[in-house]
Amino acid sequence: MPEEVLFKSEARQSRTEIASYLRAIADKLDAGEPITLKAGSQSVTMDPPASPTFEVKAEREGPAGQPGELSVEFELEWDEDGGDGGDSGELQIE
């Protein structure tokens, strides 16, 4: 299935600024409200269902045995037609 990017923003931010964005999203999810993302002239509003699939991924990119790039990705995913996602076990963050 081809991917269509509806919104993208990428900028170096402090840990405090990132935490603020994540808290704002968490508050919207907790309240059951749609999430609106804005940056410049871009804007998209999405309304996750009550139980979307939550994917957390930690990655390292680069040549084996040499310094690379590390990332942690958080993704909410759901079917537009209301279908259910997958389940791979309970997530724990420590």
The Cα–Cα gap between 40 and 20 comes to 19
Q: Are residues 57 and 43 in the same domain?
A: no
Let me know whether 7 and 37 are in one domain. yes
Q: Do 70 and 91 lie in a common domain?
A: yes
Q: Are residues 94 and 57 both part of a single domain?
A: yes
Residues 89, 59 within the same domain: yes
Q: Mean pLDDT per segment of 10 residues, for the chain of length 94 residues?
A: 91 96 96 95 94 94 91 94 64 72
Phi, psi (degrees; rounded to nearest 5) at 15? -60, -35
> Are residue 4 and residue 34 in the same domain, yes or no?
yes
Q: pTM to 2 decimals?
A: 0.81
How many domains would you assign to the chain?
Answer: 2
9: closest CA among 54, 35, 51, 44? 44
In this predicted structure, what is the pLDDT of residue 64?
87
Looking at the fold, whether 1 and 43 belong to one and the same domain comes out as: yes
How far apart are alpha carbons 72 and 87 in whole angstroms?
19
